[in-house]
C-alpha cells in the first residue's frame, strides 16, 4: 500500500510517501521557525496561513521525487490531532479533498502515535512491547506500548512539557526561538560545578513530570545574579547547563522507573527533545547498565514530519480503517483513547 502522509499540527508542514513493502519513498518538510521567531513562539493564525501556502507544492515535490503518479497512490493519512485547530484543518481539508478527487481512502492519524512509531521507519527498529518517552514542546509522556493502538499512560507532565520549559528558559537567557537547540548549544560552554538545579518530582514515587517549578528556579537564579551585575555570557552558559542537566536527569530517572515498573527492557524516545545529544548519551548509558536499550528516530524525524504520519496511517489503513466521510480535526485527543487496529496485514 502506498500512502501519502500529511502533517500540519503546528509549525512544520510535512509531507511523505510511504510504501508498506518498499518503505519510505520520499519526504519533504518546511519549517516555520523563521516566521515565528520574531514573536518568540508560534502564532496560530500565521501557522495556518503558511500551511496553506506550502502544502500543495510539497505534495507535488514528493510525488516528483518518488517518481510516482497520482493514480499509483492507494490512500492518504493526515494528522487529525492533537494540535492547533486551524493548522490541523488545513491538512485535514486538503487530505479529504484530494482523497475525494482521487477516489481513495483517507484517515486521520493521532499526532503522538506518529511520534511513537517514528523509530519503525529505521532499519533497526524495536519490537513490541516497549516503553515510549514522548518528549516535545507540547507533550512529555511515558507510555507502555504493547502493540499498535495498545497504549497505557504511565505518567505525564502536570504542567509545562519539557520542550516548553526549554523554550521559556531560552527567552529568559535572550536566546532565539525555538529554545531547545540554543539552550543545548549554550550549555556546552557551561561550568557543571557552579549550579545544581532541583530534579522535580524525583524524590517521590510515580512517573509524572513537572517542569514549571524548574523554570521558576531558573528565573530566580538569573534574577539573583542580576542584582549585583548584568548576566555575563558565562553566567548564562552556567545556568543553561544547570537547567539542561536537571531536565535530562529527571527524564532519565523516570524512564528507568518506567522500565522497572513494567518489567520491560526496551525504550523508545521520540519527539523534538529526543534529538538532544546529552539526553541520548545519558539514556544510552543509564539503560545499558541495566541491560536495557533505547531506540530513537533519525534526527529529522524527531520533530514533526510527514513520514511518521504516513507510516502510522499505513498500519491502520492496512487493517481496514478509514474516515467515515467527514474530516476530523481535534485540538485535544488523549493517546489512550486510541484502539488497536486489526492484527491482520500489519507490516
- Which residues have CB under 8 Å from 6's CB, separation 6+? 14, 15, 55, 59, 76, 77, 78, 79, 91, 94, 95, 306, 309
Which 8-state DSSP code applies to residue 23? E
Whether residue 238 is annotated as binding a ligand: the answer is no
Please state at what angle helix 212-226 crosses helix 162-172, rounded to 10 degrees.
10
Burial category of 336 from C-beta neighbours within 10 Å (exposed 0-12, middle 13-18, buried 19 and up): exposed
Whether residue 111 is annotated as binding a ligand: the answer is yes
Whether residue 52 is annotated as binding a ligand: the answer is no
Whether residue 304 is annotated as binding a ligand: the answer is yes
Question: Prior bond to 129 cis, omega within 30?
Answer: yes
Whether residue 180 is annotated as binding a ligand: the answer is yes
- Return d(Cα 121, Cα 324) in angstroms, integer: 28
Whether residue 71 is annotated as binding a ligand: the answer is no
For residues 225 and 172, the answer to whether their CB atoms sit within 8 Å is no
Q: How many CB atoms lie within 10 A of CB 146?
A: 14
Whether residue 259 is annotated as binding a ligand: the answer is no
Whether residue 276 is annotated as binding a ligand: the answer is yes
Whether residue 179 is annotated as binding a ligand: the answer is no
Closest CA to 137 of 116, 170, 166: 166
Q: Is 177 left (phi over 0), alpha (psi -120 to 50) or beta?
A: beta
C-alpha cell at 275: 534529538
Whether residue 214 is annotated as binding a ligand: the answer is no
Whether residue 38 is annotated as binding a ligand: the answer is no
Beginning with the edge strand found earlier in the chain, give each strand of the sheet holding 12-19 in spatial order: 23-31, 12-19, 2-7, 75-81, 106-110
Pairing mode, strands 23-31 and 150-156: unpaired
In order of 16, 36, 70, 285, 318, the CA distances from 85 in angstroms are 21, 17, 28, 39, 27
Closest CA to 254 of 305, 290, 202: 202
Pairing mode, strands 23-31 and 130-135: unpaired
Residue ranges at the known binding site for substrate: 134-138, 167, 180, 276
Residue ranges at the known binding site: 111, 115, 134-138, 167, 180, 276, 304
Residue ranges at the known binding site for Fe cation: 111, 115, 304
Amino acid at each position: 500500500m502506498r500512502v501519502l502522509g500529511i502533517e500540519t499540527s503546528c509549525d512544520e508542514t510535512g509531507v511523505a510517501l510511504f510504501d508498506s513493502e518498499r518503505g519510505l519513498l520520499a519526504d519533504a518538510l518546511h519549517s516555520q521557525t523563521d516566521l515565528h521567531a520574531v514573536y518568540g513562539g508560534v502564532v496560530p493564525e500565521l501557522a495556518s496561513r503558511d500551511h496553506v501556502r506550502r502544502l500543495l507544492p510539497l505534495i507535488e515535490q514528493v510525488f516528483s521525487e518518488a517518481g510516482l503518479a497520482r493514480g499509483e497512490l492507494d490512500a492518504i493519512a493526515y494528522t487529525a490531532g492533537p494540535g492547533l485547530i486551524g493548522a490541523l484543518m488545513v491538512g485535514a481539508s486538503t487530505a479529504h479533498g484530494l482523497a475525494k478527487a482521487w477516489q481513495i481512502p483517507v484517515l486521520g492519524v493521532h499526532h503522538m502515535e506518529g511520534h511513537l512509531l517514528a523509530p519503525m521507519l529505521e532499519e533497526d527498529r524495536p519490537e513490541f512491547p516497549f516503553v515510549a518517552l514522548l518528549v516535545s514542546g507540547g507533550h512529555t509522556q511515558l507510555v507502555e506500548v504493547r502493540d499498535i493502538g495498545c497504549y497505557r499512560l504511565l505518567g505525564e507532565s502536570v504542567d509545562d512539557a519539557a520542550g516548553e520549559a526549554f523554550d521559556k528558559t531560552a527567552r529568559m537567557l535572550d536566546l532565539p526561538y525555538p529554545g531547545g537547540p540554543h539552550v543545548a548549544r549554550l550549555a556546552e560552554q557551561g561550568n557543571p560545578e557552579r549550579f545544581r538545579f532541583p530534579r522535580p518530582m524525583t524524590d517521590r514515587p510515580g512517573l509524572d513530570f513537572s517542569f514549571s517549578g524548574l523554570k521558576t528556579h531558573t528565573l530566580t537564579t538569573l534574577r539573583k545574579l542580576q542584582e549585583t551585575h548584568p548576566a555575563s555570557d558565562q553566567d548564562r552558559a552556567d545556568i543553561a547547563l544547570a537547567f539542561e542537566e536537571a531536565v535530562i536527569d529527571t527524564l532519565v530517572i523516570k524512564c528507568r522507573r518506567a522500565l522497572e515498573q513494567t518489567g520491560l527492557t526496551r525504550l523508545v524516545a521520540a519527539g523534538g527533545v529526543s534529538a538532544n545529544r546529552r539526553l541520548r548519551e545519558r539514556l544510552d548509558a543509564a539503560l545499558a547498565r541495566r541491560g536495557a536499550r533505547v531506540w530513537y528516530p533519525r534526527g529529522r524525524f524527531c520533530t514533526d514530519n510527514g513520514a511518521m504520519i504516513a507510516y502510522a496511517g499505513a498500519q491502520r489503513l492496512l487493517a481496514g480503517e478509514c474516515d467515515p466521510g467527514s474530516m476530523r480535526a481535534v485540538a485535544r485527543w488523549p493517546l489512550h483513547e486510541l484502539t488497536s487496529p486489526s492484527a491482520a496485514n500489519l507490516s
